[in-house]
Amino acid sequence: MTTEQLTQWVTDHKFNRETCRHSMNGFDTVLHCHHYATLYCQLADDAEQFNGSELLKRSAELSFLDVLSTYFTDNNVKELDDRIALAEEYWKQCGWGTLKFDHVGELSTAAHMDHSHVDEGWIKKWEKRDKPVNFIGQGYLAAALSAIYDLPAGSYTVYETESIVAGADASRFSLVRI
Amino acid sequence: MPVDRDIIIDAMSKIQVTSNNEGLVPAFNVLVTQAPTNFWNSFAELITNSVAPELKPAAEALLENAAHECGYHTGYGIITSEEWASVCAPMIESPEDVLHAAFAVFTAWGWAKSEIVELIPGEKMVVRAYDYYESDVVDRGALKGPCAYMIQGVSAAFMDLAYGGEYDPTGQTGLRTFKCEQVKGIECGDEYGEFVVTSAA
């Protein structure tokens, strides 16, 4: 009996010459730089009155949940360990940093990032700050855990308890089921 | 040799970015990420429709600014890259050629299927985009106002790079010497998006 290796994220990349769009596993995708990502985060942070950071988290959660859930379904990925490994791998492959889940449970989960595109991009562009800024990563974590447990968007609250942008050696996150 | 868009699109669309051991992609003078287009669209749509109506222009300006800075710094990274040197540089004889080639790269990377349709050196540029992900926010009907903030910002940034003086990594000078107005949009029911870039002075 052979065991199928499911923990390597496999990307099916296509370029449509007619529309000139790129797609990865059926989802239109695009490259952007740290200036773009950090300015989006800054705008979200500044729009405090309108819950800007929550809007950015929600945008990330909805988009990435679709990608992860579709991948799990299309590739028949059912085992918890495989799903966790793939969620970590996809984040890294896309250039958003490194993500490791410290423990995973349906009601509470902890994770950390030793490297973060948003935090390191923010420091590169401006400087350190004392508040978290990785709203995209927070949204991705909510998406990842919902995809892992086949739950809908909005199932988790994500708390960023330590941040690279604030000088910590890693960003640390706590997720709790709503 | 004139700028051959097809050659540039064919070559540049094949470039793959891969992350390092830190999960980061240092490329073209910046850090790069890959994301679903609907992620970027979603936030732009949610924020511009959440703020009070009188603040919507300010939110739109900040979204355009994000792309303006992105286009300026990443654009410089592109035109000084090895890929540019091998594919585009042999076709370049003038700043205008740089702009035509830059929009071919812009097309190749999936930002917008776009080209320059009018160019007055140092003064004005008109860009048309025939397919772009920012128009995907409408499934039926049409928006009252356009929302291709990314194309607006990058178009202005490319003019900054061509005519705004020496590249300034700090963005203190050179950046925002041009501004862009979107006058047509697929999202508004037009056949294509149209972007007019003029001096910001």
**Which of A43, A50, A94 lies nearest to residue B35, judging by beta carbons?**
A94
Residue B125's pLDDT is 98
Q: Do A30 and B110 touch (CB under 8 A)?
A: yes
Of chain B residues 170-199, which have a CB less than 8 A from chain A?
A: none
Contacts of A93 in chain B (CB under 8 A): 18-19, 34
- Does residue B47 belong to the interface with chain A, where contact is any CB pair within 8 Å? yes
What average pLDDT score do residues B166-188 get? Answer: 95
Quick check: A55 and B47 CB within 8 A? yes
CA distances from B61 to A23, A104, B72, B150 (A): 28, 41, 16, 11
Give the model's confidence band at A2: pLDDT under 50 very low, under 70 low, under 90 confident, else very high: very low
**Angstroms from A1 CA to nearest CA on chain B:** 33
pLDDT at A170: 98
Q: Is the pLDDT of residue B20 over 90?
A: yes
Q: What is the pLDDT of residues A137-149, one digit of tens each?
A: 999 999 999 999 9
Mean pLDDT across B162-180:
94
Contacts of B66 in chain A (CB under 8 A): 35-36, 39-40, 43
Average pLDDT over residues A45-73: 95
Q: What is the token pair recorded at A24?
A: 């990865």
Domain count, chain B: 1
User: Exposed (0-12), middle (13-18) or buried (19+): which is B132, by Cβ within 10 Å?
Assistant: buried
* Strand extents, DSSP E, A67-134: 97-103, 108-116
Q: At what angle do helices B95-108 and B5-12 cross, to 10 degrees?
A: 40
Phi, psi of A176 (to 5 degrees): -130, 145
Cross-strand partners of A108: A176
Supply the pLDDT for residue B29.
83
Q: List pLDDT tens digits, range B68-103.
A: 999 999 999 999 999 999 999 999 999 999 999 999
Across the interface, of B19, B37, B67, the residue whose CB is closest to A95 is: B19
What contacts A74, CB < 8 A, 6 or more positions away?
A25
Residues in chain B within 8 Å Cβ distance of A41: none
Which residues of chain B are within 8 Å of residue A99 when distances are taken between CB atoms? 23
Distance CA A59, CA A25 (A): 19
pLDDT at A3 exceeding the cut of 70: no
CATH code for the domain of B128 = 3.30.1380.20
Domains in chain A and their CATH numbers? 34-177 (3.30.1380.20)
Task: Write the ipTM.
Answer: 0.94
pLDDT tens readout for residues A85-127: 999 999 999 999 999 999 999 999 999 999 999 999 999 999 9
pLDDT tens digit sequence for B98-152: 999 999 999 999 999 999 999 999 999 999 999 999 999 999 999 999 999 999 9
Tell me the one-letter amino acid at B51: V
Helix (H) or strand (E) holding A24: strand A21-24
Compute the average pLDDT of residues B154-168: 96
**Cβ–Cβ under 8 Å, residues A55 and B43:** yes
Name all contacts of B89-95 with Cβ < 8 Å and 24+ positions apart.
Answer: B90/B1, B91/B1, B91/B2, B91/B3, B91/B4, B91/B7, B91/B8, B92/B3, B95/B121, B95/B162, B95/B163
Q: Chain B 15-34, CB below 8 Å of chain A: which residues? A: 16-19, 22-25, 28, 30-34
Asked if B133 and A28 come within 8 Å (Cβ–Cβ), the reply is: yes
CB of A137 less than 8 A from some CB of B: no
Task: Give the structural domain span for B42.
Answer: 5-199
Asked if B69 lies within 8 A of A64 by C-beta distance, the reply is no
Average confidence (pLDDT) over B192-197: 98
B110 lies within 8 A of chain A by CB? yes
User: For residue B45, what are its two tokens?
Assistant: 């749509």
Q: Residue B150 in contact with residue B67, Cβ under 8 Å?
A: yes
Distances (CA, A) of B118 to B99, B133, B190, B198: 11, 23, 19, 12
Q: Which residues of B10-41 are buried (b: 16+ CB within 10 A; e: fewer)?
A: ebbbeeeeebeebbbbebbbbbbbbbbbbbbb
What pTM, to 2 d.p., does this model score?
A: 0.94
Mean pLDDT over each residue of chain B, to the nearest integer: 94
A64: contact with B, CB 8 A cutoff: yes
Partners of B65 on chain A (C-beta within 8 Å) are 39
Establish if B135 touches chain A: CB-CB under 8 angstroms. Answer: no
Q: What is the pLDDT of residue B149?
A: 97
- Among the partner-chain residues A36, A114, A115, the one whose CB lies closest to the CB of B70 is A36
CA distance B72 to chain A (A): 10
Measured between CA atoms, the residue of chain A closest to residue B77 is A33
Judge whether A68 and A77 are in contact, CB under 8 Å: no
Torsion angle of alpha carbons B132, B124, B103, B61, nearest 10°?
-50
A1 — pLDDT class (breaks 50, 70, 90):
very low
By the CB < 8 Å criterion, does A27 face chain B? yes
